Every structure is written in structure tokens, then in C-alpha cells.
Chains A and B, each alone.
Chain A
């Protein structure tokens, strides 16, 4: 067991702790770059580890880059650097920890009765460095010992919650708990007082080690578990998402939307300057004797793509429509002129609902208003009357539906007309491709009249389609 001088051990532990905290933040999906980490270390050196709120404010400035990240950061900081609870008044006379500093969890050592008569059976154990450290409650020696043992046991490889016990055992072994256990067994019959004392110290040690392992789990494994959950959720059929997963799904979707918006928002702003505007340049050159000091450029008028989403909101498909609309409105920044229509039997425009209400509520209303037996023919008819005149070469029309029309006429002629006018007609079908054309599905016919027909029933597919939509700009 290596024992460093206390203060260097503390400084090293602090900056290690900071690095582990950065790891923890990354697990919480705050992107922290190595440069940010260096900043954080500099900040921490500057403000010190003593004052908790100071450290929190300082680190927040370096690590949290937006309001959203700030709230995540604050929660994470509080979780990670838990303030030390009040020490039990008994025996807390020696070490004065500044309140709220970042120390190891508290120990609750029952003082060993100092008035033990005669020779102390514990004398046999004195000299064992672990026992001495525990008995004298040598904070820094213990922390260092536990850190060393934790490293030896490779605690950072923990991946499942159920592995905790196993790692606690490993660390205890590495610490040399064995010797204490044997001593305890020895005392059990002969020296009940000594037995109690040793067991209490061992329990205290075990408590600390358990804490250490749990922290390691939080840092290293919970992030991995979260990733796993996210990944499986983004592959899950959206129709099967149950209520308990909604919050996570929404988070996931928001993150995807942010990513897409960031990626494509940028592209849109490029190439704004067009060719030289000769006339205006010459005119402006008159005062300078015909020398064109101030060239004028034409502006390129970019046709922003407009999305018109036509969604089937009848029972089987409603869930998917909901997600498509949620996604489209989440990328509103980049696709500002999205119009949405909902139908089941009749069709109506629902853009206003989405503009004024939160998405979930809007969906509820839509379902209420336009629910009923599906009729694609009538829906397309209604759409043509409502908005066909505004479909032009900048419009992308997305239809979401299973194309199961209860044997009625799907009005493919209208679809063909939309295709002819629109820049793009995309049909998204939540059913898997194998089922297209079976039963009353008109999908195979419909497919011919679309620029693109795709299966779309999970978040990954949805993201890919919206990504495609956004990158397809002139």
C-alpha cells in the first residue's frame, strides 16, 4: 500500500475526481472536449476545491454551453459532488473539514472504548497499516488505499448493476481486509469487545468501498446502459412505444432534431452572393471616376423548400403520424414553412393547431377531429381542393399512411397530379415492405406515383428520411 503525503494525494485525487466528473458529464450527453477539460482544470485550480458553490459556478462557465446543458450540469454536479452530511458530534474533534468541501463520504466510526482495561487485544493488529488507518481515521491514507485497490480491481470496467458485490469483494481483498477478517474470527469467542470493534471498522471500510463502486458504476456503466437503451429505442417500432418510454423517446428525438437542425441550418446560409451586378456596380463607380470601388453582387434567391405533410391519423397509423409531425416541428428552425394536413375520412389542415399548441396536445385534437374510417380517395380530393394550387416546384409533399383503402378507389390520378406539380412526392409507409400490396393495400400502385416510397416505422428511419429531406436543397 503506497502512502503519499496527504496534501499531494488530495490534489491528485481532486484532479482525478474532476476528470471522472467530466466522464460523468459525457455520460449525461454533455459534449466536453479535451480543451474544455483543460479549461475546467484551470478553473478549478483558480477557484480551488474548498468552496463548493464557487467551484460549481466556475465549472459551469467552462463546461456547460447552453441553458439546457446548464440544467443538466447543475443536477450532475449535485449528484456527483454530494455535500458531506453533518458529522456525528461524538468524536468529531480532530479534523475540521470546511463545510461543503469535496471529500470522501463520511465515516461513522464508533470510538473504540479507550478505557479498555489491561492489555488491549487489538495490540496484535496494530502495525497493520489498514487497521491503523481505520482506527486513527486517517482520511487521506484511506482514500489513497481505496483508490489504489480500486484501480487494481479494475473497477472502471464495471458494466452491470449486479456486478457491484463482486467488485466490492475484489477491492476489499486488494485492500487486505483478509487479515482483519481473520482477526475478527479469532476474537469472536474470546474477546467480544475487540470483536465488536474490529467488525465496526470493517463495516465502515466496506461502506466506503461500496460507495466507491457505486460511483464507478454511475460514471462508467450507467452511460453505457443509457446508450444501449437509446439505441434499442431508436430501432423500436414507433407503434409499440409505450407510455413509460415516451419521455426518453422525446429526448432522443429532440437530440436528433437538434443535430439535424445544426447540420442543415448551416448549409442553408452559404452561397448567398451571386454574380456581379454590372449595372449597379457601374452606377456606384460614377463618383470614383468609373473605377468600381464598390462592386455590387446579385443575391441568389434560394427557394426554401416547403414541406406539406399529409398524415393518416386513423387508428393503426396514428402513432406514426404523431412522430412524423413531432419530428417535422422539431426541425422547424430549418423548415419554417411546414404545413400539415390530417385525415382519416375527411382531410383538414392542422398547421395552426401545431403552431399554437404543444405538439402532444395538438395531436390529441387532430385525432379527435379527423378520426374515422380511412378514405385515401376522399383525403386526396380534399387536399387537392385545399392546397393543390400552392404545390409548386419548391414543395415536397410527404404522405404518411399504410395505403389500405378498404377497397375504395384510391384516386391515383390525383396523386399523379400532385407528383407532376411538386418537387418531390414521398410516401412513408409504417408497414414493412413485405406487406405492401397484400390484402387491401394499394401500396404497389401508389408507389409508382411517388418519387420515393419508403418503409418508415422507427426513429432511425425517420431521422434518415428527414436528413435526406433537408439535404435535398438547391
Chain B
């Protein structure tokens, strides 16, 4: 078990504390998985509704271990030239043009085609060397000297083929480049993949990962999160607000408000110098919390009930 790379992640309680002081309140489940990921050197696949802090977890983790974060945002059509590496075509071209004149010197005195060819072969792979290699995020993460945190965000948005491309990186921490050979990670990075579950990921990918599902937090946990993010808001107000949001989540909405929206709402209430959560205030600021007109209407219809829930 090599805890040597990331000594900050060798104890579950310590992880929780470190994350908390970095502004990320996490459950024991999250801390356990982070601990296991560091010890077993396995990537973590994080799933859950949008806005529960999946991406934030990776960022905080990079902060806690004090290593660079390499982020790869996935989208449809993402391919190896954007994710792994690319040859610097322009540079290669420019150099061939510039070196044209040198060609005469190199071939000077060579007799016949065969000899010229063998001379050229001596310079063989000049144009396919590391100097012409443009590292993209995945390769960059492998090349980082002291490990790091690799975040592959929204993997479900990428094409299916891309998943297969990832397999080599995720299980062996290496990248194969036909012209150069295999590049092995100097020290293995911590890898986080996030998914919003818009499609099923392949079993092969799932098999290589530890799994973490982050649901919406409990009232207590969310209150702690809001309190740590928006310390200016009074405690009683925070509690009310979180209970209100939880009541809203139980409605049948197009998009339930996530933690980030709760935090935004809390921030706007601080800006408005609100002292108490009352009906008109809620009505005026509901658009911070809900992003669809229909949702706002549903919530307004249920307002008395929601307020009662907020009052506890």
C-alpha cells in the first residue's frame, strides 16, 4: 500500500478535517472512498445529480494534497488529439521548410538513391520526437513529476469510443504513442471521473473505478455546508433556508435545486440584509433557487406548506 504519494490521504478522519478546512464538508462515505482511492491507486467514478459538489470534490482534493489539478472537460466528439496528445503539425511543417536548405549539406557527397536514403534514416525520427509533441490533459497528468489530481469531468457527455481510450490510462496509468512508445506515469495521479448519468457507462470503465454516489445531502449536512460557505448568514436563518430547500426538493420539479443553488440563495439573502425568511422575500428570490418558470409556479402554489416546513 503506497500512501507515500499522498500522505494527507492516509486517514479517514484526517481527510474529513482537511477537506473541511478547505471548505468542503464531506460525509464519511466520501472520505472513505477518497482514502481507498489513494491507497488502492484506483480512479473514482463520482455520480450524482448536478450541483452536489462532484467537481468540487476533485478540486478540493487537489488543494488538500497540494498538487496541480489537471482537468479534462468531456463533450461529444472529444477525441485523442484533444485528450491525449497531438503532434505539432505547424511546427513540424515550419521546421521542414527551414531545414530544406540543410538538406543539401546532409546529402552532400551521397551517391545514388540508396545512400541518400540511408543518410536520411540516420535522422529518422527527428520530427516525431517529444519536441514536437503537444501534451493534452491526460498525458499531462501522466507526465506530472509528483503526481497530481486528474479530473475527467462529465464523462457521460463523451462518446463511447472515448471511454475505451481511457481504459489504458485508468488501469495502467500509461499512454501509448505509436511513434514514441509507451509513456508511463512518473507517479500515479489521483483520478476522479464525474458523471451526470445521462447515459450508462460501459462495464469495462466501471470495473476499473471505485464508485461514489453523492446524493443530495441531509438537512444537517447541508446546513453545515451553507454555514461554511456563507458564514455571514445567521444560524437560525440558515436552518430555515435549508429546511425550505429540502421541502422544495420533495416537490415534483423539472430541476430540483442543488447545493450550489442553496448557497447562491443564501448569498443573495445576505446581500439583501434579510433578517427573517418571510413569504414575500421568498417569492422575490425564488428565481435564484429554481431555474424553470413552471417550477417557480409550482413552488409558489405550495408556498404556505413550504414555509411551514421551513419554520420546522
Interface of A toward B, CB cutoff 8 Å: 31, 33, 35-36, 39, 42-43, 46-47, 53-54, 57-58, 60-62, 64-67, 70, 258, 261-262, 265-266, 269, 288-289, 291, 293-294, 333
Known A54-B12, A269-B159, A288-B93; judge A261-B210 contact (CB<8 A). no
> Would you give the shortest CB distance from B99 to chain A, in whole angstroms?
15
The CA of A333 and the CA of B198, in the complex, are separated in Å by: 10
CB–CB A60/B1 < 8 A: no
The CA of A36 and the CA of B42, in the complex, are separated in Å by: 12
**Interface check B200, CB cutoff 8 A:** yes
Chain A residues near B39: list those with CB within 8 A.
46
CB–CB B36/A67 < 8 A: no
Chain A residues near B210: list those with CB within 8 A.
39, 61-62
Of B25-33, B112-120, B274-282, the one touching chain A: B25-33
Chain A residues near B12: list those with CB within 8 A.
54
Known A269-B160, A269-B161; judge A36-B32 contact (CB<8 A). no
Known A46-B40, A61-B212, A266-B160; judge A54-B200 contact (CB<8 A). no
**Interface check B111, CB cutoff 8 A:** no
Which secondary structure dominates where chain A touches chain B? helix
Interface hits, B194-234 → A, CB 8 Å: 197, 199-200, 202-203, 206-207, 210-213
Contacts beyond the supplied A31-B203, A58-B36: 15 A-B pairs with Cβ under 8 Å = A46-B39, A47-B32, A53-B28, A54-B12, A60-B29, A62-B210, A62-B211, A65-B203, A67-B213, A265-B199, A265-B200, A289-B93, A293-B89, A293-B93, A294-B89
Which secondary structure dominates where chain B touches chain A? helix
Known A42-B40, A46-B39, A54-B32; judge A61-B207 contact (CB<8 A). no
CB–CB B36/A43 < 8 A: yes
The CA of A53 and the CA of B31, in the complex, are separated in Å by: 12
**Interface check B261, CB cutoff 8 A:** no
The CA of A294 and the CA of B90, in the complex, are separated in Å by: 11
The contact string, 1 if C-beta is below 8 Å from chain A, for chain B 137-177, is 00000000000000000000001110000000000000000
Chain A residues near B199: list those with CB within 8 A.
265, 333
CB–CB B207/A57 < 8 A: no
CB–CB A262/B200 < 8 A: yes
> Would you give the shortest CB distance from B36 to chain A, in whole angstroms?
6
CB–CB B40/A43 < 8 A: yes
Chain B residues near A36: list those with CB within 8 A.
207
CB–CB B28/A60 < 8 A: no
> Would you give the shortest CB distance from B282 to chain A, in whole angstroms?
29
Chain A residues near B134: list those with CB within 8 A.
none
The 7 A-B residue pairs whose C-beta atoms are closest, nearest first, are A57-B32, A61-B210, A57-B29, A65-B206, A293-B89, A269-B160, A61-B33
User: In the complex, which residue of chain A has the Cβ closest to the Cβ of B44?
Assistant: A61
The CA of A262 and the CA of B35, in the complex, are separated in Å by: 32
Number of interface residues of B (CB under 8 A): 29
Interface centre among B33, B35, B36, B197 (most CB of A within 10 A): B36
The CA of A67 and the CA of B200, in the complex, are separated in Å by: 11
The CA of A57 and the CA of B34, in the complex, are separated in Å by: 11
> Would you give the shortest CB distance from A361 to chain B, in whole angstroms?
14
CB–CB A35/B211 < 8 A: no
The CA of A296 and the CA of B161, in the complex, are separated in Å by: 19
Q: Using a Cβ cutoff of 8 Å, how many contacts connect chains A and B?
A: 72
The CA of A347 and the CA of B36, in the complex, are separated in Å by: 58
The CA of A288 and the CA of B92, in the complex, are separated in Å by: 11
**Interface check B47, CB cutoff 8 A:** yes
CB–CB A67/B47 < 8 A: yes
Chain A residues near B203: list those with CB within 8 A.
31, 65
User: In the complex, which residue of chain A has the Cβ closest to the Cβ of B202?
Assistant: A266
> Would you give the shortest CB distance from A178 to chain B, in whole angstroms?
48
The contact string, 1 if C-beta is below 8 Å from chain A, for chain B 39-74, is 110101001000000000000000000000000000
> Would you give the shortest CB distance from A49 to chain B, in whole angstroms?
14
A288's partner among B42, B89, B160, B161 (CB-CB below 8 A) is: B89
Chain A residues near B47: list those with CB within 8 A.
66-67
Known A43-B40, A58-B36, A265-B200; judge A33-B93 contact (CB<8 A). no
CB–CB B159/A61 < 8 A: no
Known A46-B39, A61-B212, A288-B93; judge A35-B207 contact (CB<8 A). yes
The CA of A266 and the CA of B203, in the complex, are separated in Å by: 12
The CA of A54 and the CA of B211, in the complex, are separated in Å by: 15
User: In the complex, which residue of chain A has the Cβ closest to the Cβ of B48?
Assistant: A67
Chain A residues near B44: list those with CB within 8 A.
61
Chain A residues near B35: list those with CB within 8 A.
46
> Would you give the shortest CB distance from A26 to chain B, in whole angstroms?
15
CB–CB A70/B213 < 8 A: yes
> Would you give the shortest CB distance from A324 to chain B, in whole angstroms?
23
The CA of A47 and the CA of B28, in the complex, are separated in Å by: 12
Known A36-B207, A61-B212; judge A54-B36 contact (CB<8 A). no
Chain B residues near A289: list those with CB within 8 A.
93
CB–CB A291/B93 < 8 A: yes
> Would you give the shortest CB distance from B311 to chain A, in whole angstroms?
32
A-B contact pairs, 16 of them (CB 8 A): A31-B203, A35-B207, A39-B210, A42-B40, A46-B36, A54-B32, A58-B32, A60-B211, A65-B203, A65-B211, A67-B213, A258-B200, A261-B200, A265-B199, A289-B93, A291-B93
> Would you give the shortest CB distance from A367 to chain B, in whole angstroms?
24
Chain B residues near A293: list those with CB within 8 A.
89, 93
> Would you give the shortest CB distance from B52 to chain A, in whole angstroms?
13
Chain B residues near A266: list those with CB within 8 A.
160, 202
The CA of A67 and the CA of B89, in the complex, are separated in Å by: 44
The CA of A221 and the CA of B36, in the complex, are separated in Å by: 33
> Would you give the shortest CB distance from B196 to chain A, in whole angstroms?
12
